[in-house]
Each structure stands twice: as C-alpha cells, then as structure tokens.
Chain A
Amino acid sequence: MTLAHPVRDEATAKTVKCVVWDLDNTVWDGILLEDGEVRLRPGVLEVMRELDERGILNSVASRNEHGPAMAKLVELGVAEYLLHPQINWGPKSASVAAIAAAVNIGVDTLAFVDDQPFERDEVAHALPEVLCLDAADLGAIPALERMVPRFVTDNAKRRRVMYQADAQRSEAEQSHDGTPAEFLAALDMRFAIAPAQRLDLQRAEELTVRTNQLNATGYTYSYEELDEFRRSADHDLLIASLDDRYGTYGQIGLSLVERGARAWTVKLLLMSCRVMSRGVGSVLLNHLIREAAAAGVALRAEFVPTERNRTMYVTYKFAGFREVSESGGVVVLEHDGTEVPGFPPYMTVQVG
C-alpha cells in the first residue's frame, strides 16, 4: 500500500463520484418496451460492482416507463446498486442534473454512459463538465484514470449503503409528523469519539481535504503528519463516528488538540456536512471543553474565517468561547470556563 499525500492539483479533472447509466442497449441488450424480454449485458454488473467497491456510486438516466424498467432492474439484480435512478421521458441532461442534486455532488464528478451518440451529445452540450462515455467501451471504464480514487477508505467502500440510508432518513424526515426535534430524538443516534488509529488516518486526511463548511481552520495535513500527531504525547487526534437506526454515517468528525502545560489549543475541528442538521456539531467540541476542564487547563481554539465557515464561528461563540487575539488571519478563541456543557439528551455519546 502506498501512502497518499494530500496533493490537490486543481488543473487535473476530478475523480468520478457517480456513474450514470442508460438502460436500453447499455445496461441490458435490447429495448425493453419493444422487445419485452431483455438480457443483462455481459460485464455491466461486474463493472458496477467494481466501481461500487471503490466508493463510486451508480445511478440511471433512462427514457423509459418507470414501473416496468424498475421491475426489470430488480429482476436483473442491478437495482440494489443504484441511487436515485431517473427513469422518465425528459431529457437525460435533466436526469443527470437531478442525480447530482439528490446526491449533493458537483456535476463535474459525474460520468454518463450511453450507447446513443445523440444522448451523449445532449448531455455533453447541456452539462459540459460531465464525462460522457460510449457503452461500447464498457470494459475500459474501470481502468480510466478518473475512475481510480487516490485511495479507497473503509468509509468509501460503504458509501453507497450510507447514501441509501440517507435517502431513507430524508423520506422518514419528510413524512415525520412532529417537530424536527422529535425527529432527531427518534433517530436513536450514537456518537463515538476515539483516538485516531493508524487505519483511520486516510479517512482523517480525506476529511481535512473534503470538508469546507464545517471546518474551523481549513488546515490540511498529510497522512505522515497526521500519523506523527497520532503518536505525539503533546497532541490528541480524535476521530468521531455516528450511527443511528438507519445505519452508519461513518467517520464524520475530526479534531486535533495541541496540549500545552497551561492551555490546550484546538488546531482542527471539523464535521462532515452530511451531519450538519443532526445536532452533533458541538458534541465533539463539548467533549474537548470537558476534558480540558478535567485537566485543569484553559482551552483555546484557532479559527481561520473563510466565506463558508461562519457556522463554526457561531458554534464556538455559542459554546462559550470569546476572541482573545488575532494575527495573520488566525483568530484565537478561548473558552470562558464558566460552564462545562453536557451532551445532548437525544443521543448516546461514547468516549473510547
């Protein structure tokens, strides 16, 4: 296994996060509404599974009758691999855009596979950032550079299942008859905080690179640097994960604390946007406040304001932090120590 470095070359095209498949003569041989009986195209399921294991999602954009096409996908054993399949008579570019919105990823991380040049052109014209591929080139898809993630974390392998759980949660939330607070309480959330282990480091690095909104400093560290912090006696590198009755959200939070004799300083505090509405943003912070209070030291936190991370500033301020200094774009906040917070009553917090 090679150790990855957080090198982000903005000039190179992004790794594909979701492949959107046509159905007739792409996923199956034949045209469902004309031929009635169609057969799975050899190799399609294998390619889907291969991508799925790398954490790349699969979806469908097909102009077909929704009912019969979905029934056929279930019969062929393909449906379980798909997220938000779009089967309707509208233009495929609209379906592709709908998938990007539903999964909450940029269209520049999508690929579209279709046997018809007309359909590929329509998508390419409307959404030039989408990678359009000919279904005839099926066998070559997994080896394409953009289909090979920098590394495959355990989190990535479970990505499809986690997104499917997310889709179930949103459905439950929308049909929930009560306040958002009551909905949260019904989720039976379990939040676990533990020192990062070696196996967690790739995910930790991935979190520093992928998280923008709920990130207090935006500092990124390489795998090697994180590994040093993990082993350092003067640092605490904590990783947080969340589970609920619908399944796991995976590892969604990270903090790095530098421990001085009189004060600890939070260098990193970040939380995946997927859990933003779950009331867990302050749980990791509350844990640090409690630990510092127990150790009898002051707790400080660095904050680097960006266009997008004001939520983290509000989180710190409302948790009882105030600004004590500012230099070179780095604000230092310190907890006033007056109130040591508890954990929210609607979740179980486990500290490992």
Chain B
Amino acid sequence: MSTDIRTRVIGYLSRYFPVSDLADTDDIFKRGFVSSMFAMQLVAFVEQEFAVVVENEDLELDNFRSVAALERFVRGKLSAPVAS
C-alpha cells in the first residue's frame, strides 16, 4: 500500500519537475518552482487521489514537503478511523 502511495505521488510530481534524481526526503518546496497554484493543486491531488479530506490543521508544510512526508501523511489519513 505505501509503495503504491509513493508511486502515485512521484507520478504526480513528475508533471511539474524532473523526479529522476528526487530523493524521498528532498524538500520539493526548496526546488524553487512552487506557485500558489502548485501548492493548491498538490493539496487537491492528495484529496482526490486518495479520497481523504485535508483539514485546515493538516495544512502544514511538514505534511507536504517531500515524497516521504506525503506518504506518511496519506498513510496516517487512510488509517484514521472514519466516522460515517
């Protein structure tokens, strides 16, 4: 499952910049090409791709700044008990 999250995240990022040399812990926001639109689209991607809700308190750079961070964040969201 977590490999799957990682693959999907990297696949998404590859639409914006080269990912061949991107290490899992590299800070994607330090790569310099981060528009407001990219940030918002990344949040929207996580919500749609993994069917999770990103709450205001989840909107911390530490949850989004690297492949590893995104993977950890999504895994945490998916394993949280869902009220329904």
Contacts and interface: CB of A to CB of B under 8 A. Distances in A.
A214 B40 CA distance: 11
* Secondary structure class of chain B's binding surface, majority of residues: loop
Given A179-B18, A181-B16, A320-B61, A315 B32 contact: no
A271 B31 CA distance: 23
Interface string B12-53: 000111100000000001011111111110010000000000
Given A318-B64, A320-B61, A310 B40 contact: yes
B36 A314 contact: yes
Contacts of A277: 35, 37
Contact of B17 (A179, A281, A313): A179
A51 to B, nearest CB: 32
A172 B62 CA distance: 35
A308 to B, nearest CB: 11
B29 A181 contact: no
B56 A315 contact: no
Nearest to B19: A179
Given A179-B17, A317-B59, A317-B61, A311 B36 contact: yes
A318 B61 contact: yes
Contacts of B34: 279, 282, 318, 344
A306 B78 CA distance: 27
A117 interface: no
B50 to A, nearest CB: 17
Given A181-B33, A279-B34, A344-B32, A315 B39 contact: yes
Nearest to A331: B56
A179 to B, nearest CB: 5
Interface residues of A, number: 27
Contacts, number: 68
Contact of B40 (A179, A184, A185, A311): A311
B4 interface: no
Contact of A184 (B18, B29, B33, B61): B33
Nearest to A179: B17
Nearest to A278: B35
B33 A344 contact: yes
A300 B61 CA distance: 18
A184 B37 CA distance: 13
A280 B35 contact: yes
B32 A276 contact: no
A273 to B, nearest CB: 10
A281 B39 CA distance: 11
A136 B38 CA distance: 49
A317 B17 CA distance: 23
Given A179-B17, A179-B18, A279-B38, A317 B60 contact: yes
A276 B36 contact: yes
Given A179-B17, A180-B16, A313 B33 contact: no
A346 interface: yes
Interface string B42-84: 0100000000000010011100100000000000000000000
Interface in A304-333: 310-315, 317-318, 320, 323
Contacts of A313: 56, 59
Residue among B16, B36, B64 with the most chain A CB within 10 A? Answer: B36
B57 to A, nearest CB: 8
Contacts of A352: none
Contacts of A310: 40
A345 interface: yes
12 contacts: A179-B17, A181-B32, A184-B33, A184-B35, A271-B36, A276-B37, A277-B37, A279-B33, A313-B56, A313-B59, A314-B43, A318-B59
Given A181-B31, A281-B35, A314-B43, 12 more contacts: A180-B15, A180-B17, A184-B35, A271-B36, A276-B35, A276-B36, A276-B37, A279-B36, A312-B36, A317-B60, A318-B29, A344-B33
Interface of A: 179-181, 184-185, 214, 271, 276-282, 310-315, 317-318, 320, 323, 344-346
